[in-house]
A and B are shown apart, each in its own frame.
Chain A
Amino acid sequence: MAYMIQAEQLGKTVTTASGDLTILQDINLRVEKGESLAITGASGSGKSTLLGLLAGLDVPSQGRVLLAGENLGELDEEGRARVRAERVGFVFQSFQLLPGLTALENVMLPMELGGQKNAEARAKEYLAKVGLEARVHHYPPQLSGGEQQRVAIARAFACEPEILFADEPTGNLDSATGNTINDLLFGLNAEAGTTLVLITHEERLANRCARQVQLAAGELLISGAAAEL
């Protein structure tokens, strides 16, 4: 069976002033197309590092990652960038919107960079989907946290990625806003059939995924269907 994401014997070690520090080791993970996976764990357990490796933002010290069948280890930085441009979308905890651009321009940016012609129409369509059609010309500092994250979600889905990586998408939001964002995220995910890899420390959010894995001290402890866990 072809997996959308496949991690084999994945490890990450960094050199610090006090010697080598192992952040991840022996991670084996497979994510099927259209599947939603939650990666949970305490702060410092290596969740964000794992997400970075799976998305090709960083390179592992050991093991390999196959993204939609392409071995990221065999690609250089530019090759990995191409894979991300073609297949990957992101939603970050800190939204990562450019403060000088309006909501519309933030959503348009990756499409413009990809050379898509109908970037503005698509951006407006997705901003409407997240309920921000009235705020397209507002700048991020003029939007609430929840609204900013909705812009980030519109930006991610407007490119129609095959895989969406979400890093603590509700980590900076209150619980009510968080729930709204989660509904939006999972709704659009279901609609587009996107593979979702979600990093969270919220049990409730993790439970909405089809499967979850838990990290502790850089090792994968539990892996199984969310309902079973």
Chain B
Amino acid sequence: MLALRLLWRNWRSGEVKLLAIALALAVTVVSAIALFTDRLESTLLEQSNSLLGADRLITSNQRHQPEWQAEADSRNIDTSQVAHFASMVFAGDEMHLASIKAVAPRYPLRGYIDLSEQPFATSGPSVERATGIPPVGEVWVDSRLLPLLHISLGDSLQIGEHSLTASKVIVSEPDGSGPFSVMGARIMMNWADLAKTQVIQPGSRVEYQWLLASSPETLTDFITWLEPRLTEHEEIVGIENAQRRLQGTLKTGRRFLVLAAVMGVLLAGVAVALAARQFASRHVNQVALLKSLGVQAARIRFLYLAQLVSLSLLAAFVGLLIGFAVQELIAVAVHRLYQIEMAPARLQTFVLSLLSGPVALVGFALPSLWFLPTVAPIKVLRQDMPINTGAAVWQIAMACAVLILLVVVFGRDLVLGATVLVALLVVAALAALLAFGLLSLGKKAGSQAGSRWRLAIASIQRRRSASVLQVVVFATAVMLLLTLTIVRTSLIEEWQVKVPEDAPNHFVLNVAPAQVEPFKQLLDSNQLGVEQLYPMVRGRLTHINGELKPEDTLNREASLTWSDTLAADNEVVAGLWWDEWPASATGLAGVSVEVEVAGRLGIELGDTLTFSIGGLQAQAEVASFRTLEWESLQPNFYFIFQPGALDDYSPMYMTSVYLPPEQKSFINTLLSRYPTIVVIELDRIINQIRTIVSQVSDGVGLVLLMVLLGGCLVLVASVNGSINERKQEAGLLRALGASRSLITGGVWTEFAILGFAAGIIATIAAEALIIGLQIAVFEVPVQPHFVYWLATPVVTSLFVAAIGAFSCRHAVNTPPAVVLREAA
């Protein structure tokens, strides 16, 4: 209670306000970013899961066991089921090998089915969201099925022994790229109609999917229970591999948010540390007095600790509320702009955010305050007695440790945190040296200058260590802001480069060799550009150097191709491309393997790979490893063979095409003429990526604002440290006849000089840091940012001068008599 009483008195006297604001800001930054990132991840997970139609799938060639269903029911897990199979469908004389999906009630557990009564509609008022599954006796179909069978909506089609009515076209569905979708147009039917068709017979090729949805914990527990009961024919499918393209974008976005968080917390941390130092210097006499009154050091430590912990909890609570409000604002904006309902943040994120207050206190404030109880009581009689404030190296080490802890806990990215920290320490050390040099130069220049300049330079020289410290702090703050601004801008530009406006937005598959030339001509006549056409066969990797390949990786058929030219976004990272590759000694054809798959499967250069293609075996020697740009939305292949290597395997061709929205109906023309061709509409995925980029970008904008606020707080805190001394000097100068304008001008000039020096250092440091980040973290091309080179020192100079003058206004404006009396 006494500690709380003392805290209240300290609060009332304003001695802990700056510390509280700085702590609250630290928590605001941490909580806003942590909560937003958490919600973003949950939302994207939900969106990704909506592509599966569930949180997890169990796929098998048999229906799931009844006891699994009972166990899932007992755990309140939502379930549904789907049967995928290919079957000929008939309408009059027309037939087509369709990809059929029989769905049970409650499908989909995640995501939605969008339908239309207008073929090939992609959006607009004709598109409606399904509230259930196809009614018994009806089917929903892929638009391209209509021209393939020459039917319209409302007509009947025959599946096996059962006749069904095509009532609607499917605009979008979860798991649109099911196992048989490439083979034919989609038909979705009610599970209850499945038996009537009589197409599923013993030995039929069918894939059953058991859909599961629940909270992550419940699901993880259930999967743990289920896994030992699965046979080799059953497989658990999550979203890990399903959304690889989005993951790349999300990872970069997430790293950016973490970077923003590190910098935001660091700035708030510097403000906390400065406020704590100020608090400590004001309390030295108080502690000496308390000790002279007989209060023991342990009790003093306890009283201060109790006060500060209470303060940090209060500040953390306020910071959490503000942080929550800030990220809620973004979530509301996201909802308004993109019609995406963001998932709620998890409780643990709230708790961790709240705890970041005390943690920031321990890391940034306590090291500056730890010496307080050791102040000797004799200090009460001997004001000039020096105090041992503890080793600065420990204070810095403690701050770094806490920063890394926060980054690891919230960002889960140690490399990024450590990179930024090491860079900052180097920058701080170099900045101190540079600042010292710049201020020494200023001294010589100042001796030639007018009175305002002389006053400013004299003030800087008088407080040379403090001035160097201020320049370092200003420079660090500006550098962080600059880095964040530049990285944000260049990152968004980078994303825009990766997903350009005219990026291919449709994949065209299943183009027969005889259709290649007429297909190209059709595109040409419609003024549509065509990318490279890749021959493609489906095959499964079975053996590596004659031994069965590991079971847990790449267990499905992959698309195999051959090409003599390397795609622009592919890069050979090991081995040689065909133009340099010497023929294999074993006479085998060469194959180039995607580097990550090679790593996962333990494939080495020179290994012999065996593939099963339509029951036939094909062997090839590994000639090179390649990296791919998954975000590029170009056709990408894990395995590219030497030209001619797969000539005997009846390839079909694939490519990607950009269709402007107004030419969307070209799909109708294409499919009417070539009904066997399959078109995958990538434009929806592109829109999803753009939405995510916008979401992340909005979040970052707000975080940047908070970081800017942190920077201002650092400036105010550092100026406040010398405010009493400045008041005395101003009072004395004015008592000696100096005009107010001279003193004000001197203050403006002093801080403008400090700001200019800080701006120069910040520009150099930010460029160095950004180059490091571009190379090591974001993996984007290195680019200098000339526009900031001049602008930063000038803007920093003006900004710091304004903040400095604002902070010193009381010292300048207070009548000299009052200042001198207060100082007495």
Whether A34 sits at the interface, judged by CB under 8 Å, is no
Complex: chain A residue closest to B379, CB-CB: A57
Complex: chain A residue closest to B380, CB-CB: A96
9-residue interface stretch from A97-105, A124-132, A219-227? A97-105
Do B296 and A82 touch (CB < 8 A)?
A: yes
Whether A135 sits at the interface, judged by CB under 8 Å, is no
Give the docked Cα–Cα distance between A90 and B12 (Å).
26
Whether B627 sits at the interface, judged by CB under 8 Å, is no
Give the docked Cα–Cα distance between A109 and B378 (Å).
19
A-B pair count, CB < 8 Å, reads 77
Q: Known A84-B293, A92-B381, A110-B293; judge A100-B298 contact (CB<8 A).
A: no
Q: B256-291, CB under 8 A of A: which get 1 and which 0? A: 000000000000000000000000000001100111
Give the docked Cα–Cα distance between A99 and B291 (Å).
17
Do B294 and A78 touch (CB < 8 A)?
A: no
Shortest distance between the CB of B422 and any CB in chain A (Å): 38
Do A113 and B299 touch (CB < 8 A)?
A: yes
Whether B567 sits at the interface, judged by CB under 8 Å, is no
Do A77 and B297 touch (CB < 8 A)?
A: yes
Q: Known A58-B376, A96-B285, A98-B286; judge A81-B9 contact (CB<8 A).
A: no
Whether A51 sits at the interface, judged by CB under 8 Å, is yes
Whether B444 sits at the interface, judged by CB under 8 Å, is no
Complex: chain B residue closest to A88, CB-CB: B294
Q: Known A78-B298, A100-B13, A101-B13; judge A113-B381 contact (CB<8 A).
A: no
Shortest distance between the CB of A76 and any CB in chain B (Å): 10
Q: B2, B13, B381: which contacts A112 (Cβ < 8 A)?
A: B2
Whether A52 sits at the interface, judged by CB under 8 Å, is yes
Give the docked Cα–Cα distance between A71 and B15 (Å).
39
Complex: chain B residue closest to A53, CB-CB: B378
Shortest distance between the CB of A195 and any CB in chain B (Å): 16
* Total chain B interface residues with beta-carbon distance under 8 A: 29
Whether B485 sits at the interface, judged by CB under 8 Å, is no
Q: Known A101-B13, A105-B9; judge A52-B293 contact (CB<8 A).
A: no
Whether B292 sits at the interface, judged by CB under 8 Å, is yes
Q: Known A84-B293, A113-B2, A167-B381; judge A141-B822 contact (CB<8 A).
A: yes
Q: Which residues of the partner chain B approach A100 to less than 8 Å between Cβ atoms? A: 9-10, 12-15
Give the docked Cα–Cα distance between A99 and B282 (Å).
10
Do A90 and B2 touch (CB < 8 A)?
A: no
Q: Which residues of the partner chain A approach B286 to less than 8 Å between Cβ atoms? A: 98
Whether A68 sits at the interface, judged by CB under 8 Å, is no
Q: B800-818, CB under 8 A of A: which get 1 and which 0? A: 0000000000000000000
Complex: chain A residue closest to B1, CB-CB: A112
Do A85 and B294 touch (CB < 8 A)?
A: yes
Q: A168-193, CB under 8 A of B: which get 1 and which 0? A: 00000000000000000000000000
Q: Please report which residues of chain B, range 349-384, place their CB below 8 angstroms from some CB of chain A when the two chains form the complex.
A: 376-378, 380-383
Do B294 and A52 touch (CB < 8 A)?
A: no
Shortest distance between the CB of A10 and any CB in chain B (Å): 15
Q: Which residues of the partner chain A approach B376 to less than 8 Å between Cβ atoms? A: 57-58
Q: Which residues of the partner chain A approach B378 to less than 8 Å between Cβ atoms? A: 52, 57-58
Q: Which residues of the partner chain A approach B298 to less than 8 Å between Cβ atoms? A: 78
Q: Which residues of the partner chain B approach A96 to less than 8 Å between Cβ atoms? A: 285, 289, 380
Q: B2, B12, B294, B381: which contacts A81 (Cβ < 8 A)?
A: B294
Q: Which residues of the partner chain B approach A74 to less than 8 Å between Cβ atoms? A: none
Q: Which residues of the partner chain B approach A90 to less than 8 Å between Cβ atoms? A: 292-293, 380
Q: Which residues of the partner chain B approach A31 to less than 8 Å between Cβ atoms? A: none
Give the docked Cα–Cα distance between A112 and B1 (Å).
11
Q: Known A48-B381, A92-B380, A167-B381; judge A85-B9 contact (CB<8 A).
A: no
Q: Which residues of the partner chain B approach A101 to less than 8 Å between Cβ atoms? A: 9, 13
Give the docked Cα–Cα distance between A42 and B383 (Å).
19
Give the docked Cα–Cα distance between A85 and B291 (Å).
9
Whether B556 sits at the interface, judged by CB under 8 Å, is no
Whether B5 sits at the interface, judged by CB under 8 Å, is yes
Give the docked Cα–Cα distance between A112 and B2 (Å).
7
Complex: chain A residue closest to B291, CB-CB: A81
Whether B764 sits at the interface, judged by CB under 8 Å, is no
Whether A86 sits at the interface, judged by CB under 8 Å, is yes
Whether B735 sits at the interface, judged by CB under 8 Å, is no
Q: Which residues of the partner chain A approach B12 to less than 8 Å between Cβ atoms? A: 100
Shortest distance between the CB of B288 and any CB in chain A (Å): 8
Q: Which residues of the partner chain A approach B382 to less than 8 Å between Cβ atoms? A: 48, 52
Q: Known A57-B378, A98-B286, A101-B13; judge A84-B299 contact (CB<8 A).
A: no
Most B-side CB within 10 Å, residue of A52, A88, A112, A114: A52
Whether B295 sits at the interface, judged by CB under 8 Å, is yes
Q: Which residues of the partner chain B approach A210 to less than 8 Å between Cβ atoms? A: none
Q: A36-61, CB under 8 A of B: which get 1 and which 0? A: 00000000000010011001011000
Give the docked Cα–Cα distance between A18 and B822 (Å).
35
Give the docked Cα–Cα distance between A48 and B286 (Å).
19
Q: Please report which residues of chain B, range 286-327, place their CB below 8 angstroms from some CB of chain A when the two chains form the complex.
A: 286, 289-299
Give the docked Cα–Cα distance between A48 and B381 (Å).
7
Q: Which residues of the partner chain B approach A141 to less than 8 Å between Cβ atoms? A: 822
Give the docked Cα–Cα distance between A112 and B380 (Å).
20
Whether A217 sits at the interface, judged by CB under 8 Å, is no
Q: Which residues of the partner chain A approach B292 to less than 8 Å between Cβ atoms? A: 55, 57, 84, 90
Whether A29 sits at the interface, judged by CB under 8 Å, is no
Q: Which residues of the partner chain B approach A77 to less than 8 Å between Cβ atoms? A: 296-297
Shortest distance between the CB of A144 and any CB in chain B (Å): 11
Do A98 and B289 touch (CB < 8 A)?
A: yes
Q: B5, B294, B295, B383: which contacts A86 (Cβ < 8 A)?
A: B294
Give the docked Cα–Cα distance between A92 and B10 (Å).
23
Report which B residues bind A (CB closer than 8 A).
2, 5, 9-10, 12-15, 285-286, 289-299, 376-378, 380-383, 822
Q: Provide a sorted-by-A list of 13 A–B residue pairs whose CB atoms are within 8 angstroms.
A: A51-B381, A55-B292, A78-B297, A78-B298, A81-B295, A85-B294, A92-B381, A96-B285, A96-B380, A100-B9, A109-B293, A110-B293, A110-B295
Q: Which 6 A-B pairs have the closest CB atoms?
A: A100-B13, A85-B294, A84-B294, A58-B378, A57-B377, A57-B378
Known pairs A57-B291, A57-B380, A81-B294; list 17 more (Cβ under 8 Å): A52-B381, A52-B382, A58-B378, A78-B296, A81-B297, A81-B377, A82-B294, A83-B294, A90-B380, A94-B383, A96-B289, A96-B380, A98-B289, A105-B9, A109-B293, A113-B293, A141-B822
